[in-house]
Structure 1
């Protein structure tokens, strides 16, 4: 090789070495820039990088129109929030929701929030797993003075739940059947008079005159509307075997099993029995039923009308007005607790709770919701929308606070099955339940 060629080769090697060196430097610079972009929330072109939303699981057991409406509100929240995404974990009913919660709590992995009825709420409250919410509800943007039944979330001086919606048990009847026989539901003075109407309808139409839900809350309402209570005034004696309880429950039993003028549907998965009861009324197999204010979204009000509950034994009706509650959990990460509360604020704002009310029939949790355009427009279309709110303001009473963590309620549930399904005389079923419930209460009250 001559000197000239050797110099050219050396020059070429030098150039190639320089190129490789610069490629490495530029590559390192590019990697560093990507790392810096990630750390600063920037994409490669300097625009903000999308942040993954914090997932917030919510446990609830709602079906039918209720479930559809809840999903719609969750979607609306997710669309409006850049930081949080609510993920529904749907259970069969409230009881299954409690079971799922207990399993998740035992594993120290609770959801961000859940929706519970009052009895399930009390069990959770007694277990010391719920997050106190007093600091949250005291903030001006929540406006707690506008919220109905907020005090039902109190447990031992702390607010452990806030209303998601308010429920009261209503009476729904077929307008065509009642009009055919010139029956004015509102003029009926008692449940006994309703039973006489049911007997006449069974004789003339060959259908059940009324359907009684396989539901403990309804049976409690009947007993309290006969003048009974769950415990004595001093709170020391369980009184579910009193004359008033026995009268109301045995009347229902006789109308179902002996006179056969009423029916009860039981069993199935989740709320299957509930919706079968409604179907029997809508399909003309029954002239009416006792249901929930939350049935409004599943009913055709060109066929049915809403009435307030009736009393027994000449007593004033005393239906429970109950808050179905949002609960947050102590063991959830702080970020999830904050996100859960953001959803609670969104859901319970006047417009959203009004939307929930007009779609489902449940009572809105805010007084101000009644004045929204969406509520007023629906009220013109369906005047029966206001009946549940009228009932809780006229006759509604708070639920019994079970100091045993739900064990008294559990005995009432067992007795309900014995009377409604097994046709056991109410006196026998209730006396057995009273003894067991009293034993549980004594454990709590003993010094």
Structure 2
């Protein structure tokens, strides 16, 4: 693999990217307060010349897991290190996904960066374009590593040109959360959550009372991306940027317009609150009983359930779609692990050993139970602690079912572009303009799509 080494290229790429918006789950608390079973390390399968000198190979891992997520990461690193004398991993928290990636950009062209780095899903196109990474597929092919148990939709997202470029690690998707007690009081079936835009709007009307509003959705670009996917609609041209480099945004297509018309109509009907961009504000309002329905990541499920404990029962449902929407499903959020190619071969191999440990079913079971992220391998569901966790938090079955029922196509595989974080911010601005009555859905999305397309064109020229 050719090393990157061209500082001018990295600086040019840096100039065309804005500060990133944090992706789903980065640094959020997943309320993983229950103590799970510590994973056991996979048997050592790596040997190097360093074993002769008793000097372990050092692997530096930059990650963006803080709070309880960071505690779980530290435990995994400690478990791996205690099981190996030939490899020692140093985990370094680098702030949010945005901050970490900006630090990586600054290190390109030097040897000051990490061995491996956790990058949110929307950073995938940029990581590949740097030419500074080594696809994990290289190591998989070399030892015929079995990936048959990797979740198909998770594996699909990180596969480009029939290669897995990074190792899936923490994955999530959005679901509908609702107040079961409020449903009962409104005469709605608490075991039958709304599934379509139309049903959500009707339920919101029934749930709106003097001190409670039917729903609130955070102004989050990730949700709009998911609404597109759930309708089987592609966000970008050229097969969502997977058949070829995307050259244009399709944000202003009927899927986007229909979504914002529905969203704005509920606001006009006074059955939906606009609480802004922060998902934390929506979660607080939900826990306080001020709203009866909301959208959020599966990684937040335990925190949401625990916050409502003693007040009301939390129900979960699939992400809604229009009644006449196409076939689709949800896109994987979260992050994966990328291997940098400017480190010695034995250091890259050592990092690969650690990645395999993190993907092991026992490790993933521990990670899932203590964070709320999906296991990236289906074998983890056979682990006793996962079964116990599902029994304690049956709401999570909704997330599992939604993932497994998602139809695999270019829409659900997820869009890829080098300016995704900027595009997400422009999408959020368009949503705000509509909700604030400044523009119609078509006008706001036309403007955002044009601006995103312009940024894509600049980025593509830079890459070439």
TM-score w.r.t. structure 2 length? 0.74
Name 2:200's counterpart in structure 1. Answer: 194
Name 1:26's counterpart in structure 2. Answer: none
Structure 1 residue 340 displacement after superposition: 1.6
Name 2:389's counterpart in structure 1. Answer: 378
Residues 225 and 321 of structure 1, relative CA distance in 2, 3 Å threshold:
same
What is the alpha-carbon distance in structure 2 between the residues aligned to residue 94 and residue 258 of structure 1? 37
- 2:301 matches 1:287: no
Name 1:25's counterpart in structure 2. Answer: none
- 2:138 matches 1:135: yes
Residues 339 and 232 of structure 1, relative CA distance in 2, 3 Å threshold:
closer
Structure 1 residue 395 displacement after superposition: 2.6
125, 129, 135: which one aligns with 2:128: 125
The answer to whether the Cα contact below 8 Å between 2:368 and 2:375 also exists between their aligned partners in 1 is yes
- 2:314 matches 1:308: no
The answer to whether the Cα contact below 8 Å between 1:230 and 1:240 also exists between their aligned partners in 2 is yes
Q: Which has the higher contact order (CA 8 A, sep 6+)?
A: 2
The answer to whether the Cα contact below 8 Å between 2:430 and 2:448 also exists between their aligned partners in 1 is no
Counting helix residues as a fraction of each chain, which structure ranks higher? 1
Secondary structure in 1 aligned to 2:447?
helix
Matches within 5 A, 1:27-426: 53-138=56-141, 142-148=145-151, 149-184=154-189, 186-204=192-210, 206-226=211-231, 228-232=233-237, 238-256=249-267, 259=270, 261-266=272-277, 273-300=278-305, 303-315=313-325, 318-322=329-333, 324-395=335-406, 397=408, 398-402=412-416, 405-407=417-419, 410-420=422-432, 423=436, 424-425=438-439, 426=441
What is the alpha-carbon distance in structure 2 between the residues aligned to residue 296 and residue 151 of structure 1? 24
What is the alpha-carbon distance in structure 2 between the residues aligned to residue 210 and residue 121 of structure 1? 33
What is the alpha-carbon distance in structure 1 between the residues aligned to residue 88 and residue 150 of structure 2? 25
Residues 172 and 142 of structure 1, relative CA distance in 2, 3 Å threshold:
farther
Task: Give unmatched runs, 5+ long, in structure 1.
Answer: 1-40, 42-47, 267-272
What is the alpha-carbon distance in structure 1 between the residues aligned to residue 186 and residue 177 of structure 2? 17
What is the alpha-carbon distance in structure 1 between the residues aligned to residue 316 and residue 60 of structure 2? 35
What is the alpha-carbon distance in structure 1 between the residues aligned to residue 207 and residue 114 of structure 2? 49
Name 1:44's counterpart in structure 2. Answer: none
What is the alpha-carbon distance in structure 1 between the residues aligned to residue 403 and residue 227 of structure 2? 15
Structure 1 residue 209 displacement after superposition: 2.4
Secondary structure in 2 aligned to 1:264?
coil
Residues 94 and 383 of structure 1, relative CA distance in 2, 3 Å threshold:
same
CA deviations 1:175-234 (Å, max 9, x no partner) are 322233242363524123213322333324x23322313321111122343564313576
What is the alpha-carbon distance in structure 2 between the residues aligned to residue 326 and residue 336 of structure 1? 15
TM-score w.r.t. structure 1 length? 0.77
Structure 1 residue 366 displacement after superposition: 1.0
Structure 1 residue 161 displacement after superposition: 0.6
Structure 1 residue 364 displacement after superposition: 1.0
The answer to whether the Cα contact below 8 Å between 1:354 and 1:372 also exists between their aligned partners in 2 is yes
Residues 102 and 203 of structure 1, relative CA distance in 2, 3 Å threshold:
same
The answer to whether the Cα contact below 8 Å between 2:186 and 2:206 also exists between their aligned partners in 1 is no
Count of residues in correspondence between the two structures = 390
Which segment drifts farther, 338-347 or 435-444? Answer: 435-444
What is the alpha-carbon distance in structure 2 between the residues aligned to residue 335 and residue 127 of structure 1? 22
What is the root-mean-square deviation in Å for CA atoms of aligned residues?
3.1
The answer to whether the Cα contact below 8 Å between 1:226 and 1:245 also exists between their aligned partners in 2 is no
Residues 234 and 71 of structure 1, relative CA distance in 2, 3 Å threshold:
closer
Secondary structure in 1 aligned to 2:209?
helix
Residues 188 and 275 of structure 1, relative CA distance in 2, 3 Å threshold:
closer
The answer to whether the Cα contact below 8 Å between 1:222 and 1:249 also exists between their aligned partners in 2 is no
CA deviations 1:137-159 (Å, max 9, x no partner) are 23668421111232433334543
Task: Give unmatched runs, 5+ long, in structure 2.
Answer: 1-49, 241-246
Residues 396 and 298 of structure 1, relative CA distance in 2, 3 Å threshold:
farther
Structure 1 residue 352 displacement after superposition: 0.9
